[in-house]
């Protein structure tokens, strides 16, 4: 896959849980890394699911994104290498991150803590993906201030667009007050079930609303995609020939091809 013209940093966000946000982060990152690009995942979700899926150590006391946000260590000190993809690094989330929202409130430049850390990360990385929690608190705001691209996974189900308006309004607020370069650059449709009319209706509605931001690739609902994290793997390493793995590979290729353009 081609290298981007400049390093691309994505905040992968959706305030609705269970839409495939972490799964999308992990699998696109692994696909890009296996294709020869240098990728870093920053797990900003206190649940730490991205860290688990990438085989990262996340027990209490492990150098993590929590320590980075508090300025106690540099990002380089917290990066772990994914055992399945040597070009993929992960800054894990530990249980300590659960209290970070409260601790950040009293800190100077609290919305810019992650941005400052990201700016110090080695230029070695072509892509950085920040897996946001399913909420619009300080952690998600930190992610949006640290980047200029937002990737939103949207599930092809009835409640898919519920809350999306609020997410877009919050992105506009961050853009107006904290980060004028912020932009929703990529939409990925997930959990598509071709047996239902509803899935097509949701997909068409999203495509009509967001036009060229929506990737052509649609991620199907897949048992293999759901199983893979239980084995500390992405679906691309758990079952490379599955429909889910091939779909995420296609999605990653689209992301990479868009990265060769001047503006994502």
Which residues, 6 or more positions from 208, have their beta carbon under 8 angstroms from its beta carbon?
Answer: none
The arithmetic mean of pLDDT across residues 244-249, rounded, is 95
Token pair recorded at residue 235: 């679906």
pLDDT score of 188 more than 60:
yes
Give me the torsion for CA of 219, 130, 110, 46, rounded to 10°: 80
pLDDT reported for residue 40: 98
The arithmetic mean of pLDDT across residues 5-12, rounded, is 95
**pLDDT tens string 22-67:** 999 999 999 999 999 999 999 999 999 999 999 999 888 899 999 9
Residue 53, classed as helix, strand or coil, is helix
pLDDT score of 91 more than 60:
yes
pLDDT category at 199 given cuts 50, 70, 90 is confident
Separation between Cα atoms, residue 56 and residue 73, nearest integer Å: 18
Could you state, in order of their start, the residue ranges of all structural domains in the chain?
Answer: 8-257
Long-range contacts of 199-208 (CB under 8 A, 24+ apart): 199/156, 199/157, 200/156, 202/154, 202/155, 202/156, 202/157, 202/158, 202/160, 202/161, 203/156, 205/161, 206/154, 206/160, 206/161
Q: What does the DSSP 8-state code read for residue 255?
A: H
pLDDT reported for residue 15: 80
pLDDT reported for residue 191: 86
For residues 51 and 19, which has the higher predicted lDDT (pLDDT)? 51
Separation between Cα atoms, residue 86 and residue 90, nearest integer Å: 11
Q: How far is CA 74 from the centre of its chain?
A: 21
The arithmetic mean of pLDDT across residues 105-134, rounded, is 93
pLDDT reported for residue 226: 87
pLDDT reported for residue 262: 52
pLDDT reported for residue 264: 42
Residue 150, classed as helix, strand or coil, is strand
pLDDT reported for residue 158: 74
Q: What is the pTM of this model?
A: 0.94
- Beta carbons within 10 angstroms of residue 101's beta carbon: 18
Q: What's the start-to-end Cα distance of the chain, in Å? A: 16
The CATH topology of domain 8-257 is Rossmann fold (3.40.50)
- Beta carbons within 10 angstroms of residue 18's beta carbon: 13
């Amino acid at each position: 896959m081609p290298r981007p013209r400049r390093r691309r940093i994505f905040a992968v966000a959706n305030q609705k849980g269970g839409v495939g946000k972490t799964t999308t982060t992990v699998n696109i990152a692994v696909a890009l890394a296996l294709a020869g690009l240098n990728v870093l995942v920053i797990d900003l979700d206190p649940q730490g699911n991205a860290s688990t899926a990438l085989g990262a150590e996340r027990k209490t006391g492990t150098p993590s994104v929590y320590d980075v946000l508090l300025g106690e260590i540099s990002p380089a000190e917290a990066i772990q290498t994914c055992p399945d993809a040597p070009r993929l690094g992960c800054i894990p989330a530990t249980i300590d991150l659960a209290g970070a929202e409260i601790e950040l409130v009293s800190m100077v430049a609290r919305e810019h803590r992650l941005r400052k850390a990201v700016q110090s990360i080695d230029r070695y990385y072509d892509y950085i993906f920040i897996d946001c929690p399913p909420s619009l608190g300080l952690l998600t705001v930190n992610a949006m201030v640290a980047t200029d691209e937002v990737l939103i996974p949207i599930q092809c189900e009835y409640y898919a667009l519920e809350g999306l308006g609020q997410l877009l309004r919050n992105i506009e607020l961050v853009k107006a007050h904290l980060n004028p370069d912020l932009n929703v650059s990529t939409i990925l449709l997930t959990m598509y079930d071709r047996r239902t009319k509803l899935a097509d209706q949701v997909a068409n509605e999203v495509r009509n609303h967001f036009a060229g931001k929506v990737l052509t690739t649609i991620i199907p609902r897949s048992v293999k995609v759901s199983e893979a994290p239980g084995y500390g793997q992405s679906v691309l390493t758990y079952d490379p020939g599955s429909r889910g793995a091939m779909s995420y590979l296609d999605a990653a290729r689209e992301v990479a091809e868009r990265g060769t353009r001047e503006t994502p």
